[in-house]
Amino acid sequence: MTFKKTLLASVIGAAMTTAVLPSVASAETSLRMAYDADPVSLDIHEQLSGGILQLSHMSFDPLVRWNKDLSFEPRLATDWEQVDDTTMRMTLRDDVTFHSGNAFSAEDVVWTIERLKRSPDFKAIFEPIASVTAVDDTTVEITTTKPYPLLLNLATYVFPMDSAFYGGTDEDGDPKDEIVKNGNSFASTHLSGTGPYVVTERQQGVRIAFERFDDYWDEASPGNVDEIVMTPISENATRVAALLSGDVDFIAPVPPNDLERVREDEDVQLVTMSGTRIIFFHMNQERVEAFQDPRVRQAFAYAVNQEGIADRLMKGFATPAAQFSPDGYAGHVADLELRYDLERAKELMAEAGYEDGFEITMMAPNNRYVNDAKIAQAVAAMLARINVTVDLKTLPKAQYWGEYDDRAADMMMIGWHADTEDSANFHEYLTACPDPDTGAGQYNAGNYCNPELDKLVAEANLEVDLEKRAEMLQQVEQTLYDEAAFVPLHWQDLAWASAANVDIEPVLNVMNFPYLGDLVIHEE
Amino acid sequence: MIAFLIKRLYHALLVMFVISIIAFAIQDNLGDPIQQMVGQSVPESEREALREELGLNDPFLVQYLRFAGNAVQFDFGYSYTFNQPTTEVILRHLPATLELVAASTFLIIALSVPIGVYSAIRPRAWLSRFFMGVSIIGISIPVFLTAIVLIQIFAIGVSLSPFPADTGWGAWLNEALSTDGGMPAYGRGDPVNVFGTWDSNFASLEGLTYLVLPAVSLASIMLPLFIRLIRAEMLEVLQSEYVKFARAKGISLRRIYFIHALKNTMLPVITVGGVQIGTLVAYTILTETVFQWPGMGLMFLNAIQRSDVPLIVTYLMIVGLIFVITNTLVDLIYGLVNPTVKLTGKPA
């Protein structure tokens, strides 16, 4: 009897050990993460969007990348020097291989930049580049048509692609390097970069799986994650639930309504950061005569309580703004203050002859920015106090942008993040005199126009002395403030959360491109 | 029978034609797909070129005729977001939705028949009252909330301590009220591939755990309705003359309840049930969104957010087809259960 029991026990024990052992032996560090959306394509030149750039940083490497403090960190380019006003020479790493096994060389950089100049989404920002030449295997020279101060900013967008892999034609006879917006292309389903992760599986909208690239050049990187599975979870509540239940280890973004819940949970950690996306209202001077009077615009700027919105509506999840440029940008003017002052606003309205106010229409999206519709309601209520009656309409983003392009209301909300991480970009798209031919002022729904500022920004974009350039951009920001060109609200904060043993803090940054190649997961 | 099926086929074509016209007519209100396909700094000239390339500048009739011409050859166009033929995209998402609907249907049938019958036979028993009370609550809670509550209780877990934890009974009650969670909160996990593009959650125990919460949420919409329907029908049948007669004749109660009465109860239930299966497919949009269940409903919602018009039109047409098919099947089954019903092509 006892013998039988012992035998039984040892059999069960053996079975259990064999069942448990394999998983211990192959203990790979894996990260399960959930973003609100997945990249639309594997072709990193198909669309200029956050999702694509996040993918780029996982499967490719840029020439240089941003540090946490918005300075540049060498990646595939180890060194750079300005040869003359229009030429920059970059030295490249010589020990880099692509996922396909091909060796990385200067030719790949040339090929990539030429492809970027053909991409509908990227060509505008690569416009200043005249030519790129490979001097030798590890040196490239980038020439611009005019002196251009933002070449390094552009270099953060250059993720060298494997020119041999993307060369030639596919089975259908189409060139493998073609960029197709609507339809399948070789590049939208195949990928070979130099980055830390190789894409192993992709089901669009369901999951995308990565595995650490064995021959990754950056051996100094502390990153220890062997595989990553990314699931898009667009529903805020579900994304948070997936983290809290331990189904995923890392989520972004964390919705403001759940911040407290996430912060209080001991098993997870929350990281927040002031962002660089400015949320503001345009006042359309073409539709409303009163907006042509700077005093009226100032009155509006004085009437809006940005701090109240940031504190109460956004629950502290926003940084109140008085200008476009966040701290760290060249044009940021430190002493521009929030100017909520209801009395002053009323005075200005009276001075301008609008004591009794007037009626305006207002539009805002209701699913694009955090609390966008609620913010618009709050602003409408604040304007009522200076006798302005607001007829507010909020729309889902799919419908909103068409209305925005038509300038369909007197005041319209927009949020903007500068693709170049530079102050000039704000002015060029948002407050420059609209010009359909050059694309200047494409999103200037206020029709604000000050040719002097346009000239100043154009000059700044030719100024290679960065300090001098910053002064010029600060002058632009100051003028926009003085003339109340728009009603600034806040910079939207960013929030990520992860399981306690996933050390996300060091790899996060204000651009929202987590450098997952450097991510460390501690043993539990 | 043949005439009936031909008539239904004609119905299906008509339904799909009408849906396609309506979907096409509202596409301008769905937003600009170009906006979703390009970055913010793309100049208007590029956008215009893309619009021209996609044929979005053509007049409505030209666009519709082009679509209809292709649709006749089973080519429903390319999805803007998946960059693949819409039919392929939908076929890939279809199994997930069908499995979810099948699981819910199973739950509804398995629970509503015994509960409905029991509460009709014993209308005044406390258990019947309990079921009726719960079903009233069930009807009035939106599926979205049910889903979130289920996730909180069974995936994340709740720890409650309304009772003093230092006493034995208090600790026990607290323990009874709290849950550990542990159920999957989202997605299908790693479904087993059965054949082709069909990955099944029914094929493994792990797959089933992923199916439970979404299926319960989806079932929660229809379950109370069916319990009440079956109870009401059964009560009525039990009052009828032939049941009284059968009782008087001394036929066993079990036989009366489960052979004679239940059969007649089920006739109207089948009719309603068939229509409701189509409705369940429509409700998957909500359930799949909350559970990030990668089926057609979730796909459809994303398509709307991205103004993916070809995918939206194809989805609506396929759901229309599902409605017609389920209705046809219901009529066929109805004929089997009640042979006095004649299936003809002519109106009765």
Lowest mean pLDDT among A194-198, A391-395, A517-521, B74-78: B74-78
Give residues 162 to 201 of A whose Cβ lies within 8 Å of B. 180-184, 188
pLDDT: which is higher, B180 or A137 = A137
Q: Taking Cα atoms as reference points, which of A80, A54, A67 lies closest to residue A328?
A: A67
ipTM: 0.84
B225 near B104, Cβ under 8 Å? no
Residue A11 has pLDDT above 70, yes or no: no
Mean local confidence (pLDDT), A118-142:
93
How many angstroms away from the CA of B182 is the closest CA of chain A?
7
- Residue A357: the pLDDT is 92
Residue A18 has pLDDT above 50, yes or no: no
- Residue B246: the pLDDT is 87
Q: What is the mean pLDDT of chain B?
A: 86
Contacts of the segment A372-379: beta carbons below 8 A, 24+ positions apart: A372/A279, A372/A413, A372/A415, A374/A313, A375/A279, A375/A309, A375/A313, A375/A314, A375/A413, A375/A489, A376/A413, A378/A308, A378/A309, A378/A313, A379/A281, A379/A304, A379/A309, A379/A487, A379/A489
Write down the number of H helices and E strands in chain A: 15, 19
Mean local confidence (pLDDT), B204-231:
91
Scored b (16 or more CB within 10 A) or e, B286-324 reads: bbbbbbbbbbbbbbbbbbbbbbbbbbbbbbbbbbbebbb
Contact A182 B294 (CB under 8 A): no
Q: Which of A32, A122, A238 to mutate to test the interface with B (most CBs of B within 10 A)?
A: A238
- Residue A316: the pLDDT is 86
A436 near A423, Cβ under 8 Å? no
- Residue B341: the pLDDT is 66
How many angstroms away from the CA of B108 is the closest CA of chain A?
25
Spell out the residues 6+ positions from residue A474 whose beta carbon is closer than 8 angstroms to its own. Answer: A330, A331, A332, A333
Residue A15 has pLDDT above 70, yes or no: no
CA distances to A56, A270, B247, B287 from B107, in Å: 45, 39, 32, 15
Could you tell me the pLDDT band of residue A5, with boundaries at 50, 70 and 90?
Answer: very low
Spell out the residues 6+ positions from residue B17 whose beta carbon is closer than 8 angstroms to its own. Answer: none
Q: What is the mean pLDDT of chain A?
A: 91
Could you tell me the pLDDT band of residue A55, with boundaries at 50, 70 and 90?
Answer: very high
Contact A181 B38 (CB under 8 A): yes
In the block, residue with structure tokens 């099948």 = B102
Which of A34, A237, A436 is facing B44, going by the closest CB pair?
Answer: A436
SS (H, E, C) chain B: CHHHHHHHHHHHHHHHHHHHHHHHHCHHHHCCHHHHHCCCCCCHHHHHHHHHHCCCCCCHHHHHHHHHHHHHCCCCCECCCCCCEHHHHHHHHHHHHHHHHHHHHHHHHHHHHHHHHHHHHCCCCHHHHHHHHHHHHHHHCCHHHHHHHHHHHHHHCCCCCCCCCCCHHHHHHHHHHCCCCCCCCCCCCCCEEEECCEEECCCCHHHHHHHHHHHHHHHHHHHHHHHHHHHHHHHHHHHCHHHHHHHHHCCCHHHHHHHHHHHHHHHHHHHHHHHHHHHHHHHHHHHHHHHCCCCHHHHHHHHHHCCCHHHHHHHHHHHHHHHHHHHHHHHHHHHHHCCCCCCCCCCC
A235 touches chain B (CB under 8 A): yes
- Per-residue pLDDT reduced to its tens digit, B152-165: 999 988 877 777 77
Q: Which of B30, B36, B41, B82 to mutate to test the interface with A (most CBs of A within 10 A)?
A: B41
- Per-residue pLDDT reduced to its tens digit, B248-261: 888 888 888 888 88
Interface A–B counts its CB contacts (< 8 A) at 141
DSSP structure class, residue A80? E
Residue A24 has pLDDT above 60, yes or no: no
Q: Over pLDDT 70: what percentage of chain A?
A: 95
How many angstroms away from the CA of A277 is the closest CA of chain B?
13
A203 touches chain B (CB under 8 A): yes
Which of B44, B80, B187 is facing A182, going by the closest CB pair?
Answer: B80
Which pairing describes strands A197-203 and A139-144: parallel, antiparallel, or unpaired? unpaired
- Per-residue pLDDT reduced to its tens digit, B305-332: 888 889 999 999 888 888 888 888 888 8
Which of B83, B184, B292 is facing A182, going by the closest CB pair?
Answer: B83
Spell out the residues 6+ positions from residue A121 whose beta carbon is closer than 8 angstroms to its own. Answer: A45, A46, A47, A48, B38, B39, B41, B42, B46
Spell out the residues 6+ positions from residue A223 whose beta carbon is closer than 8 angstroms to its own. Answer: A196, A212, A516, A517, A518, A519, A520
3-state secondary structure of A196: coil
CA distances to B102, B104, B130, B212 from B110, in Å: 12, 10, 18, 14
- Per-residue pLDDT reduced to its tens digit, A433-481: 998 888 889 999 999 999 999 999 999 999 988 999 999 999 999 999 9
Q: Which of A235, A363, A407, A428 to mutate to test the interface with B (most CBs of B within 10 A)?
A: A235
Contact A398 B306 (CB under 8 A): yes
Residue B54 has pLDDT above 50, yes or no: yes
d(CA A494, CA A511): 9
Contact A245 B155 (CB under 8 A): yes
Strand ranges for A375-410 from DSSP E: 389-395
A29 near A223, Cβ under 8 Å? no
- Per-residue pLDDT reduced to its tens digit, B60-105: 888 889 888 888 888 888 898 888 899 999 999 999 999 999 999 9
Which of B43, B54, B82 is facing A439, going by the closest CB pair?
Answer: B43
Mean local confidence (pLDDT), B174-201:
83
- Residue A170: the pLDDT is 87
d(CA A158, CA A56): 10
CA distances to A187, A214, A269, A495, A520 from A225, in Å: 26, 12, 18, 22, 7
A496 near A240, Cβ under 8 Å? no
How many angstroms away from the CA of B148 is the closest CA of chain A?
8
Spell out the residues 6+ positions from residue A300 whose beta carbon is closer than 8 angstroms to its own. Answer: A283, A345, A383, A386, A388, A484, A487
Tell me how crowded residue B168 is: count the other CB atoms within 10 A of its CB: 9
Could you tell me the pLDDT band of residue A283, with boundaries at 50, 70 and 90?
Answer: very high
Contact B304 A49 (CB under 8 A): no
CA distances to A116, B235, B242, B249, B252 from B246, in Å: 84, 16, 6, 5, 9
Q: Taking Cα atoms as reference points, which of A75, A139, A66 lies closest to residue A108?
A: A139
- Per-residue pLDDT reduced to its tens digit, B221-242: 889 989 999 999 999 988 888 8
Tell me how crowded residue B252 is: count the other CB atoms within 10 A of its CB: 11
Lowest mean pLDDT among A4-13, A305-314, B79-88: A4-13
Q: Locate A93 and state its tokens.
A: 């790493």
Where does residue A360 rank: exposed (0-12), middle (13-18), buried (19+ CB within 10 A)?
Answer: buried
d(CA B177, CA A273): 38
- Residue A21: the pLDDT is 40
A429 touches chain B (CB under 8 A): yes
Q: Taking Cα atoms as reference points, which of A167, A180, A192, A187 lies closest to residue A61?
A: A192
B225 near B139, Cβ under 8 Å? yes
Mean local confidence (pLDDT), B128-134:
91
Which of A205, A245, A400 is facing B185, going by the closest CB pair?
Answer: A245
Tell me how crowded residue A357 is: count the other CB atoms within 10 A of its CB: 17
Give the residues across from A440 on adjacent strands.
A435
Q: Locate B89 and state its tokens.
A: 């995209």
- Per-residue pLDDT reduced to its tens digit, A376-420: 999 999 999 999 999 999 998 888 988 998 999 999 999 999 988
- Residue A27: the pLDDT is 61
A234 touches chain B (CB under 8 A): yes
Position A97, amino acid = T
